[in-house]
Structures are given as structure tokens and as C-alpha cells.
């Protein structure tokens, strides 16, 4: 299945005077709720709807907990989730980098 996208012109946030560049921007074709996904999974296997929904809700609870512990969460072909450090700019010294921002687990 192909992915629909637009081409969007964006400025460089670090250098507003620099020429703008063009980037592909994915277009969403709709939304699905957790309940709708659960119903679709139930149609594909023998697990009941409430059981499927319970497993999905548990997964959504566990993933942030694992990320907060500093672990990478791998979900097969879907991809991996991991924490990122805040900011992308380097610092002149290691001390400044350590003091730049504190790392906290995600809010609940």
C-alpha cells in the first residue's frame, strides 16, 4: 500500500535567513481508536474482544515504564521505541552537557 504525502516548504529554524527547503510530509488517511483496533484483531483470531483490549491497554502501560527504565522496546517489524536526549546542540564541555537538562521519566 502506498503512502500519500505532500511536499512542504520549510525554513531552517537555526538560520531563518537560509533558503527554505522542501520536505515530504505524510498525509493521514484517517484515525483508528484502540477499541477499533481491538475489534479488528478479534475478527482475525479466537481471542475475545475484552481480552484483546486488556492486552493492548497493558502494552500501552508497560511501554512507557520500560522506556523510563532506560530500555529499548522492540516490537518486531513495527519498530523500536527508545528515549532520546533533550536538545540536539552539543556543548563545549562535558560538564555543561551534564548540567544542561535533567532527564526525567515521562509524565503520566
Has residue 26 been placed in a domain?
Answer: no
Among residues 46, 75, 61, 59, which one has the least CA distance to residue 106? 61
Which three-class secondary structure state does DSSP give residue 35? Answer: helix
**Which tens digit of pLDDT belongs to each residue from 94-104?**
776 666 555 54
In a domain, 76, yes or no: yes
Residue 16 resides in a domain: no
Does residue 20 lie in a domain region? no
Of 16 and 95, more confident: 16
Supply the range of the domain harboring residue 84: 32-100
Which residues, in sequence order, are CB contacts of 91 under 8 Å at separation 6+? 97, 100
Asked, for residue 78, whether it belongs to a domain, the answer is yes
Count of structural domains within the chain: 1
Q: Please give the helix or strand (H or E) that residue 8 lies within, else none.
A: strand 5-10
Look at 2 and 5; give whichever has higher pLDDT. 5
Q: Does residue 68 sit within a domain? A: yes
Domain annotation covers residue 8: no
**Cα–Cα distance, 92 to 77 (Å, whole number):** 39
Residues 28, 29, 31, 34, CA torsion sign: negative
CATH at 92: 4.10.520
57-80 residue pLDDT tens: 999 999 999 998 989 999 999 899
pTM for this structure? 0.62
Does residue 37 sit within a domain?
A: yes
pLDDT of residue 46: 93
Amino acid at each position: 500500500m502506498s503512502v500519500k504525502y505532500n511536499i512542504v516548504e520549510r525554513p531552517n529554524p537555526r538560520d531563518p535567513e537560509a533558503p527554505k527547503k522542501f520536505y515530504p510530509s505524510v498525509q493521514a488517511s484517517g484515525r483508528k481508536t484502540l477499541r477499533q483496533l481491538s475489534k479488528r484483531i478479534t475478527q482475525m483470531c479466537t481471542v475475545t474482544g475484552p481480552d484483546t483490549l486488556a492486552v493492548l491497554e497493558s502494552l500501552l502501560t508497560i511501554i512507557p515504564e520500560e522506556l523510563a527504565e532506560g530500555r529499548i522496546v522492540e516490537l518486531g517489524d513495527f519498530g523500536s521505541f527508545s528515549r532520546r536526549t533533550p536538545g540536539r546542540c552539543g556543548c563545549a564541555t562535558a560538564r555543561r552537557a551534564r548540567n544542561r537538562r535533567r532527564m526525567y521519566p515521562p509524565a503520566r
